[in-house]
Amino acid sequence: MSEDHAELNLCPNCGKENLPMATRCVHCGSDMESLFTIFGQSQDPDEQSEDSLPDIIEEIRNDPSLKTPAELAPIPEILPAEQIDESLLNSEELPDWLAKVRERAQEEEDAIGDLASGTIAMDAARSEEGSAGVEGEFNAWINRIREKSQQENSVRARQLPNDSEDPDQVPDWLQRIRALQPQPEEEITHEVKANPSYMDEMPREWTDEALEELRRQSLAEDQEQETEPLPSASTIAEEGEIPAEPEMEELSEPVHKEPELLEEDFHNIPDDEEELQELLPENDLSHSSEAEETIAQEAVEDKPETEEIDAPQAEPDNQVEEALEEPGQGIPQQGNTQLEEPEPEESVSEESPEDAPIEPDEPEQTEPKSSLTENEPELALEGQDEEPEEEEQPTDSAAVPPDLLLLRDQQDRASLLASLIEQEGRVTAGKQAPRKPFGRAGRLAVALLLLIGLVVSILIGPAAMPADAFKSIPALALNNQIETLNENDQVLVVLDYQAATSREIESLAAPLLEQLHTQGANLVFLTTQPSGLFLAQSLLVQAGLPEVKQVDYLPGSYLSLLVRAMNPAISDSQDTLTQVKDLHSFRLVLLVSDSSDNIRGWLEQIAPWVESSNFAAVTTQMEAPVLSPYFNSGQLVGYAAGIADGNIGSQPAFSYRAYRVGLLLMLVMLLLGMISKGEADAIQREEERAE
């Protein structure tokens, strides 16, 4: 309890004790701003950028040589750089060690340490990206929370003297904390023991050797103590499974308690950016208050640091190990020490805004947040950034009261946040696990619908397609090209299709072949697919051509003909294998293929060498869009694709009615899909509006 008295400030007017956070004396009402500013709290948030203070805190903390002196002289350490300079110049109590530290910091290349500089650079990069509006909003929130915290400090200060008058009487806040912790007295006792003994042992004047010794001590302690209550970054990196930071461990608490809420937030926030923008100040509030008001005071009395150095190791080990092994149980106890009314929902409301909406999908939105919040998404990757935040855990009894007072105000806002987030989560429940329109039964129903529709259409009877059906431009061009052929003109027909598409392809190609044959063209057939050997028979029958017509298999497809296309004079031993001796003698090369890739191969490899021949194609409707650029560029003189181009519908074997029914059903399904999606979106919007 003596710690409480030691931390109270004396009023410059009446000389009575006040809380460190009190801006006015509770006894005489005089202004205590000068005392207040000594804690590094800027009166005007605009005077000091919100990210400079955490950076400086981190900067100072990351330097091991500064850690121990910081505990000896806590108040100057947390000052911003400019204020430190001023205070050191003006104060007669300027410690020599600090001057040496500053000198050494200027001399050393990396005075602030890689980690701190990296963090500062990261923060600077983020602050550049931040919008001015969000920053202003953030500052407004800071102002408000400071005002409220000062008011509450005043109220609290009126109550504290009563508590502190009797040293044996335990204050309310401490009782609450003890009720939250299994062995709170041990920790507090430990804290009380540690600091005075530490202070007695440490030299007042710091030499380089002493600083080096202190650094070595600190490093040795870090290595020895593998199980710290708040694990170091290296420990976390080694263990891997443990959350990287106390705050992260606290964040894991609501995950355990209300996992649905967080998951829902995770999915919902990106879709509602406006709401996210509204939430951001709330997020900033919770963290900025910690960063700029509470942390500035509490961090000086860091319990982890104290324990690392001075505390008997046997004492916290059991608790520490429990905390490490069971982050969901052990760590929240520390987190709960910050709360006056440590209810699970409040912890959720406090923590969920910072990890749920911002972390996964909108990292840019964290810009205006304090360094605490900014570091959180990256903790898993940059464990070294965790150290400053780890030390900010207010487990020291002296640090608790202002923190509790702040958190009371935070709780009001955080509870509002929690309700908002909870509502959002409900909305996105459908998005996270979208209801499937239909499963197996639905697919079966759709399939049966199509089958029944087709069968009925076929059974009704043939419905011929109009003979003068609308043909595509490439099909008309192909017809024109065929009509220009004279008798005995050589036409190479390359069969390059599979059995699956044979019905469509043959229906398209057969009328064209028949027309060519009628015009007296000399047809030469090749097949590049082995299946073409048996498919050609069917095609020739449909085209009314003699079935005995020879169809050669062309191994390697166009590669076999490439040399002959390049150099017609060449004669190789394979000339006897195909009827094709000279590609240049063909006026038309008709590619009957169900693969646009193969057609493209012919156009790329053969066509450039055989400019005297025209290339045309008969293909499926699926490949038509890919071939259209080649028709547009003139590489294909035409192509027939689809049911209309080949007059398949006019063939008696094909039910044009069934085809149309199938298209209609597909049209309906597509429209239903779009409508159902639109309806689902509308319902979702309605729910959001209602909530």
Separation between Cα atoms, residue 188 and residue 191, nearest integer Å: 5
Separation between Cα atoms, residue 18 and residue 269, nearest integer Å: 43
650-654 contacts at long range (C-beta below 8 A, 24 or more positions apart): 650/464, 650/465, 650/466, 650/467, 650/469, 651/507, 652/462, 652/464, 654/507
Q: Residue 636: phi, psi to the nearest 5?
A: -110, 130
- Report the residue number, 24 or 564, with the smaller CB distance to another protein: 564
Q: Name the CA radius of gyration of the chain, rounded.
A: 41
**In the complex, least distance from residue 494 CB atom to another protein, rounded to whole angstroms:** 16
CA angle 352, 356, 360 (to 5 degrees): 155
- Report the residue number, 334 or 501, with the smaller CB distance to another protein: 501
Please enumerate in sequence order all residues whose Cβ is within 8 A of that of 424, keeping only pairs 6 or more positions apart, or say none.
264, 265, 268, 269, 272, 275, 691
**In the complex, least distance from residue 453 CB atom to another protein, rounded to whole angstroms:** 10
- Report the residue number, 328 or 608, with the smaller CB distance to another protein: 608
**In the complex, least distance from residue 646 CB atom to another protein, rounded to whole angstroms:** 11
- Report the residue number, 531 or 585, with the smaller CB distance to another protein: 531
Please enumerate in sequence order all residues whose Cβ is within 8 A of that of 209, keeping only pairs 6 or more positions apart, or say none.
none
118 CB neighbour count, 10 Å cutoff:
15
Give the single-character DSSP code of 113.
-
- Report the residue number, 181 or 268, with the smaller CB distance to another protein: 268
Q: Are 613 and 514 in contact (CB under 8 A)?
A: no
- Report the residue number, 436 or 689, with the smaller CB distance to another protein: 436
**In the complex, least distance from residue 627 CB atom to another protein, rounded to whole angstroms:** 8
Separation between Cα atoms, residue 309 and residue 228, nearest integer Å: 11
**In the complex, least distance from residue 108 CB atom to another protein, rounded to whole angstroms:** 32
**In the complex, least distance from residue 349 CB atom to another protein, rounded to whole angstroms:** 25
Separation between Cα atoms, residue 385 and residue 378, nearest integer Å: 8
Nearest Cα residue to 201 out of 306, 78, 60, 79: 306
- Report the residue number, 36 or 654, with the smaller CB distance to another protein: 654
**In the complex, least distance from residue 534 CB atom to another protein, rounded to whole angstroms:** 4
**In the complex, least distance from residue 366 CB atom to another protein, rounded to whole angstroms:** 9
- Report the residue number, 488 or 576, with the smaller CB distance to another protein: 576
- Report the residue number, 88 or 562, with the smaller CB distance to another protein: 562
Q: Are 469 and 644 in contact (CB under 8 A)?
A: yes
Determine the 3-state secondary structure of 490 from DSSP: strand
- Report the residue number, 83 or 127, with the smaller CB distance to another protein: 127
- Report the residue number, 346 or 355, with the smaller CB distance to another protein: 355
Q: Are 21 and 415 in contact (CB under 8 A)?
A: no
DSSP per residue, 389-451 = HHHT---SGGGHHHHHHHHHHHHHHHHHHHHHHHHHHHHTHHHHSPPPS--HHHHHHHHHHHH
Q: Are 76 and 38 in contact (CB under 8 A)?
A: no
620 CB neighbour count, 10 Å cutoff:
18
Q: Are 55 and 116 in contact (CB under 8 A)?
A: yes
Determine the 3-state secondary structure of 178 from DSSP: helix
**In the complex, least distance from residue 549 CB atom to another protein, rounded to whole angstroms:** 12
**In the complex, least distance from residue 417 CB atom to another protein, rounded to whole angstroms:** 22
**In the complex, least distance from residue 126 CB atom to another protein, rounded to whole angstroms:** 10
**In the complex, least distance from residue 586 CB atom to another protein, rounded to whole angstroms:** 18
Two structure tokens written together for 408: 């009371």
- Report the residue number, 87 or 605, with the smaller CB distance to another protein: 605
**In the complex, least distance from residue 514 CB atom to another protein, rounded to whole angstroms:** 20
Separation between Cα atoms, residue 305 and residue 299, nearest integer Å: 10
Q: Are 615 and 603 in contact (CB under 8 A)?
A: yes
- Report the residue number, 465 or 543, with the smaller CB distance to another protein: 465
**In the complex, least distance from residue 564 CB atom to another protein, rounded to whole angstroms:** 9
* DSSP H helices in 313-368: 314-325, 330-336, 344-355
- Report the residue number, 210 or 450, with the smaller CB distance to another protein: 450
Determine the 3-state secondary structure of 633 from DSSP: coil
